[in-house]
Amino acid sequence: MRIVVYIYFLFSLSILSCSAHNLDIPAMESEKADSFKVSKTEEEWKKILTPEQYYIMRQKGTERPFTGAFWNHKEKGIYACAGCGQKLFRSDIKFESMCGWPSFFDRIDTANLVFVKDTSYGMIRTEVLCGNCGGHLGHIFRDGPPPTWLRYCINSAALQFIPSDEQKLNPSQNSK
């Protein structure tokens, strides 16, 4: 019985850590939130994304904690947007937050992400969108490690991974 209570406690804690009330994060809203380089119809998105990716990236859904491909992923490389390939995060800025989703304390480039105030589900959070296609990636919280103290809590299904070896073979992709 103790084990069940302990597991329930850990699961509850992981959910709360990724949905904390974040009044201290500035709105960080961008004028760019309405116009993106990559623009597709919903039918076009449905053709290129899996049903899970479409639900997360276009309908602002989320995957269950500890179920995504990258929450415990340790390989070296780049995490890019699953919708358009925009490079977003490096593996060396990923950390173990134990919230059940891939977590990063920084981003590759400030122009690659857009931030929007999110008041869904009775919470005030900051949503993270791909700066290239506008796909919903996850949320940002102010409970990460130094030096930024930020935690980008990102859905695995919104990401694709490019291993370091592939980066060396395809240098032209580094300019995305």
Show the tokens assigned to 3. Answer: 């084990």
Which amino acid is located at 49 in the chain?
A: L
Nearest-angstrom CA–CA distance, 90 and 39: 25
Q: Which residues contact 174 (CB under 8 A, 6 or more apart)?
A: 87, 167
Classify 57 as helix, strand or coil. helix
Classify 49 as helix, strand or coil. coil
The answer to whether 158 and 165 are in contact (CB under 8 A) is no
The answer to whether 131 and 114 are in contact (CB under 8 A) is yes
Q: Which residues contact 150 (CB under 8 A, 6 or more apart)?
A: 105, 106, 140, 141, 142, 144
What residues are labeled active site?
153
Nearest-angstrom CA–CA distance, 125 and 113: 15
